[in-house]
Structure 1
């Protein structure tokens, strides 16, 4: 397995402000210096990086700048993260248009994976049709990614309609998109990440690895939370997974580079055992 790191820690995640009035422009963004992020990630010993689609949009008219940063850091752009509501028929065409732009940018910069979160929770409550619409939309996302020569992965996430193991079971059998388990989100949603990995091992084509303190539902550098990371890595090995492990830390009060270094040391010990 190869190790990469997500750039989110350098500034956290926000949505592009134009998305409030124009859903087709609602890209994810990390409000941080991407040059510093890729430099730090490379110096921390990782081989790849995952970035948000909105940060790629910033380099769309000057791709050589980001390509130069990645080259200098010795990193591959492994994956690009995006997402959408996916359950509202009226805005779905605009959401998918944005996903097409994200996939094209991912391919332009050499990424192999488009990672997608989403599935909105309605104020009036989730319906069976919402899961059907989400599944159908994710099939379209898979088609979009394949048209660009890359693969798509669905990432269950807190605040969406796919938090718990039961909700995941309502979705995955009805869509063909690949599965990206984020082990901390799965645990925070009430699941056993290792058991879920074993159940859906044939669907996994990407992994987000981070730690969690369950009592406060706070994400941590690897080894600082209470997840059984050794058991999770063991489950991945049992399934035959040999792809990227993308270490992620959504928010961190300290130095993001130091957190990346600590997580790198922890995951390398796990892989060596």
Structure 2
């Protein structure tokens, strides 16, 4: 398995402000210096990086700048993260148009994976039809990704309608998109990450790793929380997964490079055990 890191730690995540009035432009974005993020991730010993689609948009007209940063850092762009509401029929065409642009950018910069989050929770409450709409939308995302030459993965996420194991079980059998387990989000949603990985091992085509302090629901560098990381890695091995392990940390009270190094050191010890 190869090790990569997500650029979110260098600035956190926001939505593009034009998306408030124009859904087709609501890209994810890290308000950080992507050159510094790439340099730090490479210096920390990783081989790849995952970025938000909105950060790739910034380089769409000057691709040589980003490819130069990646080359200098010895990294490849592994994956691109995007997402949408996916349950509102009126805005779905514009959301899918944006996803299409994200998939094309991923392919342009050599990424093999498009990671997708989403499935909005309505103010009035989630309906049974919402899961069907989300599943149908994710099938369309899968088609869009395949047309661009990349693979799509669904990432369950807190605040969406796919937080708990029961919600995941409602969605995955109804769609053919690949599965990206984020072990901390799965645990925070009440699940056993290792058990979920074993249950859906044939669907996994991408992995997000971070640790979690359950009591406070605080994401941590690997080894700093209370997840059973050895058990999680054993479950991945048992399923035959041999792809990228992408370490992710949404924010960090300190230098993000220090968090990246700490997670790398912890993960290397775990993989060698």
User: 1:232-273: CA deviations, max 9, x gaps?
Assistant: 000000000000000000011111000000000000111111
Matches within 5 A, 1:205-220: 205-220=205-220
Alignment of 1:14-53 (within 5 A): 14-53=14-53
Where does residue 154 of structure 1 map in the other structure?
A: 154
Shift of the alpha carbon at 1:164? 0.1
Q: Quote the residue 2:269 is aligned against.
A: 269
Match of 2:170 in 1: 170
Aligned to 1:256: 256
1:222 aligns with 2:235: no
The yes-or-no answer on 1:244 pairing with 2:257 is no
In structure 2, runs of 5+ residues without a counterpart are none
TM-score normalised to structure 1 length: 1.00
Measure the CA separation in 2 of the matches of 1:148 and 1:101: 9
Match of residue 8 from structure 1: 8
CA offset at residue 7 of structure 1? 0.1
Quote the residue 1:78 is aligned against.
78
1:183: Cα distance to partner? Answer: 0.1
Structure 1 segments (4+ residues) deviating >2 Å:
none
State the alpha-carbon separation in 1 of the partners of residues 116 and 270 from structure 2: 27
Partner Cα separation in structure 2 for residue 270 and residue 247 of structure 1 = 14
Q: What's the counterpart of residue 68 of structure 1? A: 68
The reply to whether residue 111 of structure 1 matches residue 111 of structure 2 is yes
Distance apart, 1:27 and its partner CA? 0.2
Deviation at 1:58, TM superposition (A): 0.2
* 1:158-190 CA-partner distances (Å, limit 9, x unpaired): 000000000000000000000000000000000
The alignment partner of 1:215 has SS state of coil
Mapping of residues 193-212 of structure 1, within 5 Å: 193-212=193-212
Aligned length: 273
- Look up the match of 1:235: 235
Q: How far is 1:192 from its partner? A: 0.2
Q: Which runs of 5+ in 1 are unaligned?
A: none
Q: Deviations over 1:138-160 (max 9, x none)?
A: 00000000001110000000000
Whole-Å Cα distance in 2 between the matches of residues 237 and 272 of structure 1? Answer: 13
- State the TM-score, normalized to the length of structure 2: 1.00
For 2:234 and 2:265, the matched residues in 1 are separated by 17
Alignment of 1:93-112 (within 5 A): 93-112=93-112
Q: Deviations over 1:184-222 (max 9, x none)?
A: 000000000000000000000000000000011010000
**2-structure distance, mates of 1:218, 1:59:** 32
| Offset, 1:225 | 0.3
State the Cα RMSD in Å. 0.3
